[in-house]
Amino acid sequence: MGGLEKIRLKRELKKTQFVKGIGITPGIIIGKAYLLDRGKIEAPARVLPEFQVPQEVERFLAAVEESKKQLRRAKEKLVHEDAAGPSYIIDTHLLLLEDKKLIDSAVDTIRQSWINSEWALKINLDRLRKIFESIDDEYLRSRKTDVDYVGERILRNLMGKETEGLSQIKEEVILVAHDLSPGDTAQMAKDKVVAFVTDMGGKTSHTAIMARSLEITAVVGTETSSHTINTGDVLIVDGFTGVVVVNPSPEIMQEYKERQLIRQKMERELFQYRDLPAETLDGFRVKVLANIELVDEIPSVLQHGAEGIGLYRTEYLYLNRNDLPTEEDHFQAYKQVVEGIYPHPAVIRTLDIGGDKFMSQIVVAEEMNPALGLRAIRFSLKEVDLFKTQLRAMLRASAYGKVKILLPMISGISEIRQAKRILNEVRLGLTAEGIPFDPQIEVGIMIEVPSAVTIADILAREVDFFSIGTNDLIQYALAIDRGNESVTHLYEPLHPAILRLIRQVVQAAHQAGIRVAMCGEMAGEPLYIPILIGLELDELSMNVLSVFRVKKILRAYTFRECKELVESSGHLSTPDEIEDLVRTSLRQKFPEEFRDIFGIKINNDE
């Protein structure tokens, strides 16, 4: 075969492929792939003679110390590059390297079983992974990747395998990897890595958080990219739709270049929505707020024109630390959020995890199904001192701005009344101590359990507002484990049952004269906005990057049109039929931008 024939054959083999993942940061980037191929490290398993055990413990601890040094260097680089916000993730990994459940347990395994460090580490990593996999909350479950990152780093140091460096990349590339750790992103030459694509990750993974913080266009959760993409392949990364095009044809390349120009124009135009009210053409007003977990996110919330914090997750204060957060820890965090977002409100959710997996100071029984066990408000009502500590800090912070307290996973009236009694005790204590707080502070509940929907009219009499947590509500109502890949396709926000549940909650709230918000992923998905407006939600709280688009869509409709969509959807039987109905409406409103904003169905056979 001649040289020209080989070139022709090589070109034919590089057929265009479409890979679908989850778009994290908006943008369309065209460039060459750089595959970060580390391969899976297999931990060797050896039984040791007893006299070698002390030396093996020293070898393990030395690898842990080297891992700490590497992470500290990575953190220093992030801070030096003025990216201190995401450096908290490296702090998480440093805390894991101090965690007794991991480090001390591995040392005990070496000493008691007389086995090598790698094997002992693997045993304890597998145990920790199972703990995280049993967690219902998507954000907290995704923290399993932290254990994986730390474990791999220790393992590489034990086996003398250097981590492939990213700081040496000399030209602009699109990084492709199975997954990326914060240490990886810290090494990136930001002017060289223009986008990245990973097999792993979701909207709440640390990889996604880093991408948003560093404003790098990214698509995660593709599952197979690192196996199907090679270094040098030409890629188009569409962070809007979550599509990665591998070796695009000239026609597709030209199409995306044109879309890139359109997108740049759209982004400039979207900025004009920052200070505009979120209201329909006929004046129906909705508040658009942001979900956050860190104080560092406040500037971005304000820059995007959100009208406050609709959900401040407080779980991070509890995770991966050797002690429980003090009242002052809570207060300082809440005060910064409240002052930072003033004069807008901040809805602060009380602890939404269980104590059995994260807090070694609290002893509780092991559960068969933690997702339905002692978690959220149930855990807080059992651990009253811990609950009071958090409530005291929230009340103290209310003296510095507008605070609303949100109670998660309420399933019945007794939980609300018990929580309010505890809150009143805390109020009396602060009053006796002369500590100021807002006496009119509002208390609301998360509607995320089907029983709460059924008795929403009763619950509405007890609280100041509702906030619908669609992530859990959909999972519980449809009996879907979102962590189980075999059934995730059944997780359908437009399922007729889900829309009926939302309608029932809104009607109960409005009949009682209280407002109802939505703070799940559904609230920030552009495709669902017309339906949510037609269902008459008062507030939508979302990832801050969705605010501009939600405002744009909302301001293109009349309230009457949205109501008619909801009415029409009531006559349809399947989620697909309802989605087609909404897409047809949106295509009519946004004919030129429809594909970029609302996504397309990708067929790899095309």
> Which sequence positions are flagged as catalytic?
206, 519
Q: Any bridge partners for residue 243, and if so which?
A: 20, 238
Give the integer Cα–Cα distance in Å for 177 and 317: 30
User: For residues 210 and 182, is the Cβ–Cβ distance under 8 A?
Assistant: yes
- Rounded to 5°, the CA angle 250-255-261 comes to 130
The one-character DSSP state at 285 is B
Peptide bond into 343 cis (omega under 30): yes
E-strand stretches of 123-222:
173-177, 193-198, 217-220
Which segments within 495-538 are labelled E, that is strand? 515-518
Name 312's bridge partners: 292, 348
What DSSP line would sit under 313-367, residue for residue? Answer: --GGGTTT-SSPPPHHHHHHHHHHHHHHHTTSEEEEEPP-S-STTT-TTS-----
Sheet of 22-25: strand order equals 17-20, 243-246, 234-238, 28-36, 173-177, 193-198, 217-220, 22-25
Residue 371, CA distances (Å) to 101, 126, 335, 356, 577 in order: 21, 20, 31, 12, 31
Q: Cα–Cα distances in Å, from 355 out to 387, 391, 538?
A: 12, 17, 33
Q: How many CA atoms lie within 13 A of 345 on its CB side?
A: 18
Is-contact 39 264, C-beta < 8 A? no
Tokens of 192: 């060289």
- CB-CB contact of 561 with 535 (8 Å): no
Task: Supply the DSSP symbol for 231.
Answer: T
CA distance 396 to 328: 10
Name the amino acid, one letter, at 511: Q
Q: Which residues pair with 31 in a beta bridge?
A: 235
Helix (H, G, I), strand (E, B) or coil at 296: helix
Q: Which residues contact 454 (CB under 8 A, 6 or more apart)?
A: none
The one-letter amino acid at 479: A
DSSP string, 42-108: PPP--B--GGGHHHHHHHHHHHHHHHHHHHHHHHHHHHHTT-TTTHHHHHHHHHHTT-IIIIIHHHH
Q: Give the 3-state secondary structure of residue 411.
A: coil
